[in-house]
Structure 1
Amino acid sequence: MDFYYVKALHIIFVVTWFAGLFYIGRLFIYHVEAEKKDEPAKSILQTQYKLMSKRLWYIITWPSLFLASFFAFWMLYKNPYYLKMPWMHVKLAFVLALYFYHGFCHKIYKELQRDEIKYSPNKLRMFNEIPTVILFAVVFLVVLKSAINWIWGVVGIILFGILLMIGIRYYKKVRAKKSWDKYEQELMDEDKKTNN
């Protein structure tokens, strides 16, 4: 098969793999947040999230990991000179980190399927940003093909991660304020009803 077809297939399955990783993280958060709901909403939501997670995980995410890896190894086999390039070494280190992230997601998936909740929604939100950081790093490495400035790249990725964490904390505060404002409005509405 022509190299460019293999490369195209690799890119397609990398995209679907990342899509699965991004969405499974959101489903984990929704599943954990449903724990605070009253019955029967809690059971209905968690049952639905389990089903959605199972389909996403085994129909999209795992197959995408295997196919993206298969086509990547095929490209490296056909073009071993890539392995001599420093930027490829750094990229492969990020890919290895992504494999570990995927494995940890599988652990969380299994726990939630057994109704074991071990992480808060906020921790899961921060955890869910790891593939974003890896995606940025890998895309810049592949496009720029430069490992010489990897120190600046690491500094940039760390700053990007810090900005993501600040954004998550800000989102949490805004969300808490909206919940409080909604609660106050409900109290005022209830007070109006009792006074009438």
Structure 2
Amino acid sequence: MSRWFAPGTWWYALPLLLLAGPLLWLDPSLGAGAALAGIAVLVFHRNPDRDVPESGYVSPADGKVSVIREEDGRLRVGVFMNVHNVHVNRAPTAGPIEDVTHTPGAHKPAFSKDSDRNERVHVDFPDYRVTLIAGAFARRIHPYVETGDTVDRGERIGHISFGSRVDVLFPPEIERDELLVERGERVRAGQSVFVEP
């Protein structure tokens, strides 16, 4: 994995940057546009290091808390990633991964209720689940982990190219009044604590 960018970034950025050179000779405005688009792709897929707290469930994504709801007696918290957010996602706690499954679906805006039927990847831990959800422009979810892997708290587990939302479905014993964030609050992956032990 690149230290600076999410895996696969160059597949998106390099064609634009290579195209920019010839286009600058033919049409400077098109060449500049291609170069800017390539740079924007690199910025979008940036992959910064984070100082991870030693305890608690940390946010799996950068962005704004957009979902807080109860589902069958369990708490779900979702983070919507805007275009300016880092899109590399992280494990809320340390532990083994029991299953990683891909579910095809729609590509509705990730901040809408219709996004509950969007394409997604579920990363299942023994007692909770992280779900990476594609959005209107996200066409590719890239998990970095597989069934049987063990991760540390805040470790990178995947990214979504050009999207969208990441949810945590907490263990049944976690209650709403234990949640340390509110809807609309901005959070950082691997740093913002959702629930303390």
TM-score scaled to structure 2, two decimals? 0.25
Q: Point out the structure with max Rg over C-alpha.
A: 1
If each structure's strand is expressed as a fraction of its own residues, which one has the higher value?
A: 2
TM-score scaled to structure 1, two decimals? 0.25
If each structure's helix is expressed as a fraction of its own residues, which one has the higher value?
A: 1
